Amino acid sequence: MTAFCLALAPAAIAQADKMTETKTYLPGDLVWKDADAIPPGGKVVVLEGDPGKEGFYSMRVKFPEGLYRIAPHTHAQAEHLTVISGTFNMGMGEKFDQSGGQAMPAGTYFCMPAGMKHFAWTTGETVIQLSGLGPQNIVYLNPADDPRNNQKK
């Protein structure tokens, strides 16, 4: 797994070499928006790039106070996650089973390859930062779990 994460580093460095301006986001500057690909209550802010397009992106996701669950899913690209605050819990597999998960407190860094089946939950307000190469997506193993399928048109 470490070798896989390190293999992506040259692409991220090459992308950073193309930057033409500096960006600073102080915590009060962040404009959180509703996230449509995860259950209601989740918020997102894109810091750099566009997760839906080719190239490097970095974004934060905020989960609300209380039990918050993300059903089993996969991603088309590798996922690089840092826990900024709170505790993010993740488990691997096709079924949501908290007993098999791992708690990741603030400061934890985690990466996994594309296509890994996993699920997540939080029990208090938690903020994570996701970075990687796009396009990134989320594909729920059970389409009924996808909140985008339940939105009113």
Q: Is the dihedral of CA 136, 141, 143, 146 positive or negative?
A: negative
Q: What is the distance between the alpha carbons of residues 38 and 140, in angstroms, rounded to a whole number? A: 10
The helix/strand/coil state of 150 is coil
Query: Rounded to two decimals, what is the model's pTM?
Result: 0.85
Q: Structural domain boundaries of the chain?
A: 2-149
Structural tokens at position 6: 């390190």
Alpha helix segments (H runs only) across 65-150:
none
What is the fold, at CATH topology level, of the domain defined by 2-149? Jelly Rolls (2.60.120)
Q: Tens of pLDDT along the chain (153 residues)?
A: 444 454 454 555 445 556 788 989 998 999 999 999 999 999 999 999 999 999 999 999 999 999 999 999 999 999 999 999 999 999 999 999 999 899 999 999 999 999 999 999 999 999 999 999 999 999 999 999 999 997 654
